[in-house]
Structure 1
Amino acid sequence: MGRGRSEIKRIENPTQRQSTFYKRRDGLFKKARELAVLCDADLLLLLFSASGKLYHFLSPTVPSVREFVERYEATTHTKVWADIRQERRAELEKVGSMCDLLEKQLRFMTVDDGEEYTVPSLEALEHNLEAAMRKVRSEKDRKIGGEICYLQNIIRGRQEERYGLCDKIAHAETLKDVECGSTSLSNGLDLKLGFN
């Protein structure tokens, strides 16, 4: 009698999961080796574990991973290597131009004692510094305004809470006065009528 089918789902026990991973990985690589040898197939198998460790199998007939991927690109008309390089090159160019711009602005914002400046360049520097100061002041004013609104809301909430407590106290005193008034009234009647 054969084994029954088990449901394929994630193994919750980490030790058992790791043990199963290694056993199945070895079985998968054995099958890949057999397929490559028996059928003379070119095969590249890449496997990443849950921890990110790379395991790979390359059939003996494949000279290198790069050539295999280039063959894949030619067959499927997709770019695996080139897209990554182009994206990185574009990103590097963007970062480089941003660094150049920031260095230029930084050089422009600093005034060295040993360097000669023209009046127009000093006026431009003064204009840029004034614009920067306006931005800083407006941001500071915005932050202070936000803090003021926040504190005003807290004060308003506390005042409403105080008014609510005052109303409760006034209501309690009114009830107390009503109870005291009826007690004193009944005591006075009792004395007049001769009750103890």
Structure 2
Amino acid sequence: MGRGKIEIKRIENTTNRQVTFSKRRNGLLKKAYELSVLCDAEVAVVIFSSRGKLYEFANKSVNRTIERYKKICAKEMQWEPTTSSLMKCCQTEVGNLKQEIDILTKTNRNLMGDNLSSLSMNELSILEAHIERGIKCIRSKKNEILHEEIKATHEREQMLLVQNQFLRNKIAECQNAEGSVQLHIYKEAPPQFDTQDLLQRNLVDASHEHSQEDLSITQFNLQPREES
């Protein structure tokens, strides 16, 4: 049969309490050792009996583990007020930013001509001065940009004129060079005559002369003879 469930309460019998303390103390120290070995953990156990006797276990050093524990606790204690103060600063900053956003939103609406009924005469005068100053700045910037664009246009125009003149000069040089080459070729190569064409012309001229002679003879023979 299994062991029954033990009620967790103070043992009144001194002898039984001492025996239970010894058994459970040894079991606790054994479990601490097993935990340090199996899990590679830094373990320290400190036990004081009811008579004030000290029992301890540490896989490294009890003092070292306690010092490490104190440092971690000190950092956490310092972090808590730091975090709290940081949160307060953030909340204050958020509140200030919200106020600035509200002011800027209201000013922007006033500049657009909205919500002017709640403004006094002095506030309206200040708003008017801001608008006029803004208009002057805008016009000045527009004129500056316009002058820069005009200057750039003139520079491009001058550059195009220079390129155009350069191309004209190149075309004129090419035309002069082409004319000189043609004249040089004409001087070196005299005109050639077509021999066949010349022969045909001579034959035509000779035939024409023979025709004229035959016509003269025919006319001479056809003239009437005078009677004797």
What TM bracket, shorter-length normalisation?
0.3 to 0.5
Structure with higher RCO (Cα < 8 A, 6+ apart): 1
TM-score with structure 2 setting the length = 0.41
